[in-house]
Structure 1
Amino acid sequence: MLLEVEDLSVNYGHIEAIRGLTFGVEEGSIATLIGANGAGKSTTLKTISGLRKIRTGRVLFDGKDIAKVPAHERVQLGISQSPEGRGVFPGMTVRENLDMGAYARKDRSSAALKPDFDRVLELFPRLSERINQVAGTMSGGEQQMLAMGRALMARPRLVLLDEPSMGLAPKLIQQIFEIIKEINAQGTTVLLVEQNAAQALRLADTAHLLETGEIVRSGTGHELATDSSVREAYLGG
C-alpha cells in the first residue's frame, strides 16, 4: 500500500472537518473520494499533502509516518497536489509555472527536467502552444491543464487531484479524465477528489464515499457506481 490513512481526524477551530478516516491507496491505482460539498474531501487531500494539521491519527506514505513531515518535504518524498481552483501563478508564463512545480526537486538542472517537461507537453499539447503565455490570461481549462502539469513536474509517485473538472465544459471534462487515465498508465498513482461522481467512479479502481467527515461506503468504482443508494444520492438515480 503506497498511502495509508489511519483513524484520521482534523479540525477547523472547534469544528471537526474529518473524523476517524481510514483508507488506503495501492501503488499504481486510481482511488477517488466522492461526496457532497463540505463532506471533507478537500480537507483530506490537504492533510495528506501537509497543508492541514492532524488532530489524531496517522498518514503513512510507503510505510513511513509522515504526519509531522513539512509539506515541502512531502513533495520531495513523492506527493504532489493539483489544488482546487487551479492555483496557477497568474503573472508567470506557462514555462515559469511548470518550473515552479519542480522547485522542491534536488535535481533541477535543465537536463534533469527536460524529460518531465517533454512528458507534460505530450500529455497537454495545448500547453506547448501557450508555453510563453502568461497563465492569468488563459482559459479555465488551460489553467487546469497547467495546474496538473505543474504537479507532475515534481515527478511524484502519488498525485492528488482536487476537483480537476470543476467549471469546465463537458467536452473538456472528458479530455481531462482521459489525461488522468494516461497519467496513471504511465505509472503515477492517483488520488482524485471530484464532484463529477459518475466520471470519477468510472475511472477509479477504489472509491470512498464521504458524508460529514466520515467514510460511509467503500468499494471498487464499479461497486459504488451500481449501488442504488449512491446512484440515487450522487448519480441522479
Structure 2
Amino acid sequence: MALLELSDVTVHYGRIRALSSVSLSVAEGEVVTLIGANGAGKTTTMRAISGILPLSSGRILFDGRDISRLRADLRVVRGICQAPEGRGVFPGMTVRENLEMGCYTRKDRKNVAADFERVFALFPRLAERRDQAGGTLSGGEQQMVAIGRALMARPRLLLLDEPSMGLAPRFIQQIFHIITEINEQGTTVLLVEQNARQALSRAHRAHVLETGSIVRSGTGAELLADPSVKEAYLGVA
C-alpha cells in the first residue's frame, strides 16, 4: 500500500485550473520527484498535499486514510511536513529557535534533544551557527534550516519544494547528498525540483508535470534517458 496516494486531484486558483486530474503515489521509503517548467503545477501539488490549498475534486490518501479535507496542522501531526519554496526562515530567531518551531505538534518532548543532534549531524554548519539569527545566514544555510526544521517534526513524508533554488553550486551538491542521506535514514521524500538532472539521479520514481497534468512517469533512470525529457529539462537535444 502506498504511503501517499493522489487520485484525480484537481485544484483551482479562482477560475484558473492549476491541477487537472493528477494521480500519483509515493511508497514508504521512496524518493519521488516532480519536474516541470515554471507554472507546471509542481508547487500547487505540494500545497494541496500539505493542506494549504483546497481540492476542487479528487482525493488524497495518507497511510490509507482520506485526508482530502483535513486541516494543514493536523496533516503535520499525521506525519506530513514541508520545507517550502523560499525557505521561510524566521529572520529574527536563532537557528536553534527556528528548528524548535518544527516541534510544535510533538508530545514526545523527551526525544527532541536527540533530534537536534540528528539535525546538527546532518548539517554541521548549523551546529556552528546555532545561536546566530536566521536572517544573517546565507541562502544555503537557510535551506539547511528549512529542511532541519521539517525534520524536527519527525515526518513520515518530507515534502521538499525547490531545495536548490538560488543556491551556489557547492551548496546544491551538498543539499542533494543530504536528501539521499535523509531517505537512507528512513524518511520518505517527495521532491519538487527545477534541477532535473540532480533530482532524477536521486529519485526512485519521477513524474513530469506540464500545465497541471502528469505527462510522463517512470523511474528516475528512465526519465534521465528519455530523449524528450533530455531536450526539455536537461539541456540535451
Which SS does the other structure have where 1:132 is aligned? coil
Unmatched 5+ stretches in structure 1: none
Superposition deviation, residue 170 in structure 1: 1.1
Matches of residues 37-48 of structure 1 in structure 2 within 5 Å?
37-48=38-49
Q: Name the SS for the 2:93 alignment partner.
A: coil
State the match for 2:20 in structure 1: 19
Aligned runs of 1:71-220 on 2, under 5 Å? Answer: 71-107=72-108, 109=109, 111-220=110-219
Q: Give aligned-pair identity as a percent.
A: 66
Q: In structure 2, what is the Cα distance between the partners aligned to 1:153 and 1:40?
A: 27
State the 4+ residue runs in structure 1 displaced beyond 4 angstroms. none
Give the corresponding residue for 1:51: 52
Deviations 1:99-138 (A, max 9, x none): 001111122x3x3201111110000000000000000011
Aligned position for 2:7: 6
Q: Distance between the aligned counterparts of 1:143 and 1:210, measured in 2?
A: 27
In the alignment, the residues of structure 2 paired with residue 103 and residue 223 of structure 1 have an alpha-carbon distance, to the nearest angstrom, of 40
1:131-150 CA distance string (max 9 Å, x none): 00000011000000000000
Deviations 1:44-84 (A, max 9, x none): 00100000000000000000000111011100100000000
The match for 1:227 is 226
Q: CA deviation at 1:217?
A: 0.1
The Cα offsets for residues 172-219 of structure 1, whole Å up to 9 and x where unpaired, read as: 100000000000000000000000000000000000000000000000
Following the alignment from structure 2 to structure 1, what is the Cα–Cα distance between the partners of residues 157 and 98?
Answer: 20
In the alignment, what sits opposite 2:71?
70
SS in 2 for 1:85: coil
| Secondary structure, counterpart of 2:34 in structure 1 | strand
The residue type equivalent to 2:38 in the other structure is N
Whole-angstrom CA distance in 2 between matches of 1:68 and 1:102: 23
Classify the secondary structure of the residue corresponding to 1:24: strand
Aligned Cα root-mean-square deviation (Å): 0.6
Aligned equivalents of 1:112 and 1:172: distance in 2? 29
Q: Which amino acid letter does the alignment assign opposite residue 71 of structure 1?
A: A
Find the residue that maps to 1:168 and give its secondary structure.
coil
Aligned residues: 235
Distance 1:123 1:153 in 2: 12
TM-score normalised by the chain length of structure 2: 0.98
| Alpha-carbon separation, structure 1, partners of 2:162 and 2:75 | 21
- State how far apart, in whole Å, the 1-side matches of 2:135 and 2:104 are: 20
